[in-house]
Structure 1
Amino acid sequence: MDRRGVVNFVRSEYALLALLVLIVGGAWGFMELADEVLEGETHRLDEVVLLAMRNPADLSDPLGPGWVEEVGRDVTALGGLAIVGFISIVAVGHMMLRGRHRGALYVALTVGGGILVSTLLKSGFDRPRPDLVPHGATVYTASFPSGHSMMSAVVYLTLGVLLARLDSRPALRIYVLGVAIFLTIAVGISRIYLGVHWPTDVLAGWTAGATWALLCWAGADILQRRGRLEAAEKP
């Protein structure tokens, strides 16, 4: 191995180590936040942020004109199970058509596993939905963590990091990851705006979903090194 190869190897090892540190930090952050929520330490902050998005004279009226609330409903649908499931199927199909069969299987397993984790966490904590304001969307499940926020992070961030790893062009990588982050943040904010989640529900969903995406990123890196996952395409 020449000097350049050694430098690239060391850099990749440090990058993987940094990913693992972020994964551990994300898991720790989620557990700390969950503990604070269970003890009721975040309730006052949740109320302040939630009410800040409402008309003080009429708590049933979110801030802004009527079309903003309609946009909020459209955006929040991007984190729904039907939409994220459809997008995942399209992404897997795209990878299959490009001949990246192992990558397609990995995406299907990681996205499906993330959705399963989200469902189990929500059932385990069973936190009631906000009752300060009328809900701007129909809800059926518990509140913590926000399923829409976590599933959007799981699907969009996981797809973003995995698709970015399959292409060596920096501009395309940045674009894919940027879109994934933007969609994840937008979905979470829409859940608070519509009054169906406490802010800490959304924060927990983002934290858990981002941690899962980083875990998938690290897994893809390890599998690519071992030749069990397709390498990035050259520009």
Structure 2
Amino acid sequence: MTAGRRLTDWAKRNVELRTLVVLALVVGGLWAFGELADEVLEGETRSLDETILLALRTPGDLADPIGPGWVEVMGRDLTALGGALVLSLFTAAVAGFFVIRRSWGMVAFLIASVGGGILLSHGAKLLFDRPRPDLVPHGVEVITSSFPSGHSMMAAVTYLTLGALVARVMPGRVLKAYILTLAVVMSAMVGVSRVYLGVHWPTDVLAGWLAGAAWAMACFLVARLLARRGAVEPEAAPEESGGLRGGAS
């Protein structure tokens, strides 16, 4: 038997299809982020970025985003969902959920996952150091560099990671899908608001989404590995009934 055949047989016995799919998405997300970063550094995305940013402004008045005034107010409210304080509160709330379940391993893993992703976001911004858009006035105050969008990446890291960790211990596919959909929608709204308010190029936001989603999926895979070793709470089976129960510590 060839080495390739032995490797294939081992994978069939030990690796689940879902794990392979998620791993492929992680690799694909990181590859897409790298390709996008390369295009941004070479200036290839400038025209597209400017076109989208200008399309969200009232013709003849670049200081005025399209739509009535309440839309701009709503944009500021949505962008706050990606701020450090709000993300910390959501993280604390979900950590409390696992404390109630006495799943201490999940509490530690959750904090490490979200905290690590946020540190990665700050590191990426320092590495690329892309200037903020100067094409239109900013709708909110900003003090850091532009690529990747910190709000978009931190929102994706936090909401998608929290959503994935909570969904894996919830019974029923519908409930899992609802939690993950809510996490995706919240992450998307934060990113769109950053472009609407003129504080990020669209490619900044796309990069933040790609990196944040890849991080969240990687954390999901690590959680599955730790669950097999009894370090964190195991994933709930779809047919399990609801209710609080203690997890592995």
The one-letter amino acid paired with 1:226 is R
Moved segments of 4+, more than 2 Å: 9-12
Q: Do structure 1's residue 198 and structure 2's residue 207 form an aligned pair? A: no
**Matching residue of 1:5:** none
Summarize deviations over 1:153-204 as a string: whole Å, max 9, x none: 0000000111111113111101100100000000000000000000000000
1:168 aligns with 2:167: no
**Structure 2, unaligned runs of 5 or more:** 1-11, 242-249
Tell whether 2:46 aligns with 1:40: no
| Equivalence map 1:119-198=2 (5 Å) | 119-198=122-201
| Shift, 1:65, TM fit | 0.4
Taking a change above 3 Å as real, the CA distance of residues 10 and 179 of structure 1, as seen in their structure-2 partners, is farther
State the secondary structure of the residue aligned to 1:136.
Answer: coil
- Displacement of 1:54 in angstroms is 0.4
1:91 aligned residue: 94
1:23 lines up with 2:26 in the alignment = yes
CA displacement at 1:10 relative to structure 2: 6.2
Task: Give the TM-score normalised by the residue count of structure 1.
Answer: 0.94
Q: Secondary structure at the match of 1:59?
A: strand
What code does the residue aligned with 2:100 have? Answer: L
8 Å Cα contact 2:82/2:152 also seen in 1: yes
Alpha-carbon separation, structure 2, partners of 1:73 and 1:38: 29
> Could you tell me how far apart the structure 1 residues matched to 2:228 and 2:97 are?
23
Q: 1:138 to 1:224 in 2, by over 3 A?
A: same
RMSD: 1.3
SS of structure 2 residue aligned to 1:78:
helix
Q: Which moved more, 1:80-89 or 1:223-232?
A: 223-232
> Separation in 2 of the partners of 1:168 and 1:109?
25
Structure 1 residues not aligned, in runs of 5+: 1-8
| Per-residue deviation, 1:98 | 1.6
TM-score, normalised with respect to structure 2:
0.89
Q: Please state if 1:105 is matched with 2:108.
A: yes
Per the TM alignment, residue 226 of structure 1 is displaced from its structure 2 partner at its CA by: 2.3
**AA matched with 1:98:** R
Tell me how far apart the structure 1 counterparts of residues 98 and 127 of structure 2 sit (CA, whole Å): 34
Instruction: Check if 1:210 corresponds to 2:213.
Output: yes
Alpha-carbon offset, residue 225 of structure 1? 2.1
Give yes or no for the alignment of 1:219 onto 2:222. Answer: yes
Q: 1:62 to 1:10 in 2, by over 3 A?
A: farther
Query: Is the 8 Å Cα contact of residues 164 and 220 (structure 2) preserved in structure 1?
Result: yes
Q: Distance in 1 between matches of 2:235 and 2:218?
A: 18
Q: How many residues align?
A: 227
